[in-house]
Amino acid sequence: MEIKTNKFKNFFKRYGALALVGVFTVAIALTVALTVGNSTSQVSTNSLSFQIPMNNAEVIKDYSDTKLQYNDVLNRWEIHLGIDFTSSTDTSVMSVLDGTVTSVSNNSLEGYIVEIAHDDGFVSIYSSLSENVLVNEGDEVRRGDKIGDASNSAGREFDDETALHFVLLKDGVEVDPNNYLDLGNK
């Protein structure tokens, strides 16, 4: 046993300081990485004030990334990564935040679509707009600026009902707009 103990003591005398420096270096690196990782992954939206995209809006189909919802038009069950709004008093659709219009397009499934890029990696997408879209790609918009009117142009969701399909992205990933819009009791 004395031989093994002497080998250990000799090894520790020779390489112990290096081993301790290595352990401390790894500990410091992990601490810094975890601290920086946590501070960048949590977004502070305190400076961002989101507005509901329609006046007197009523939610007719809520966001759901885990629970399937039935789509009457397509006759199938699916997740719903946005919120569908309607209003019996005003079809105006407004920008939820200040931003830059990055895309104005039209397709048979989503209808007329406006995408607006905002601060902190947010992008708002407004679809099923009427053909009279009021903004163009590159336009700067302010929170509350009218960008168009809700309609039934989205072939994938609405038969005759005038509604807005609203999607919110954070760093390119759909997020639940309920976490950012004050919808009250819906």
27 within domain boundaries: yes
- The span from the CA of 110 to the CA of 154, in Å, is 4
Specify whether 148 is located in the same domain as 89.
Answer: yes
Indicate if 81 and 138 belong to the same structural domain: yes
Query: Span 108-113, mean pLDDT?
Result: 89
Tell me: pLDDT of 102 over 90. yes
Q: Is residue 87 part of a domain?
A: yes
- Reply yes or no on whether the pLDDT at 39 is more than 50: no
Please write down the long-range contacts of 131-139, taking CB distance under 8 Å and 24 or more positions apart. Answer: 131/106, 133/104, 135/101, 135/104, 136/101, 136/104, 137/101, 137/102, 137/103, 137/104, 138/100, 138/101, 139/100, 139/101
How many structural domains comprise the chain? 2
Residue 74, SS3 per DSSP? coil
Q: What is the CATH number of the domain that holds 73?
A: 2.70.70.10
- Examine the domain organization and report whether 107 and 156 are in the same domain: yes
Q: What single letter denotes the amino acid at residue 178?
A: N
Same domain, 106 and 21: no
Instruction: Clarify whether residues 29 and 71 are in a common domain.
Output: no
The dihedral over CA atoms of 51, 172, 87, 186, expressed in degrees to the nearest 10, equals -70
| Same structural domain, 28 and 76 | no
| Residue 115 lies inside a defined structural domain of this protein | yes
Whether residues 30 and 62 fall in one domain: no
Same domain flag for 167 and 124: yes
Q: Residue 38: pLDDT band by 50, 70, 90 thresholds?
A: very low
Strands 83-86 and 92-94, by their bridges, are unpaired
Give the pLDDT confidence of 41-82 residue by residue, as tens digits.
334 445 678 999 999 999 988 898 888 877 777 787 888 899
Owning domain of residue 153: 58-179
Instruction: Check residues 39 and 78 and name the one with the higher pLDDT.
Output: 78
Same structural domain for residues 112 and 145?
yes
Say yes or no to pLDDT of 34 above 80.
no
In a domain, 11, yes or no: yes
pLDDT in tens, 120-173: 999 999 999 999 999 999 999 999 999 999 998 776 565 567 899 999 999 999
Task: Confirm whether 49 is domain-assigned.
Answer: no
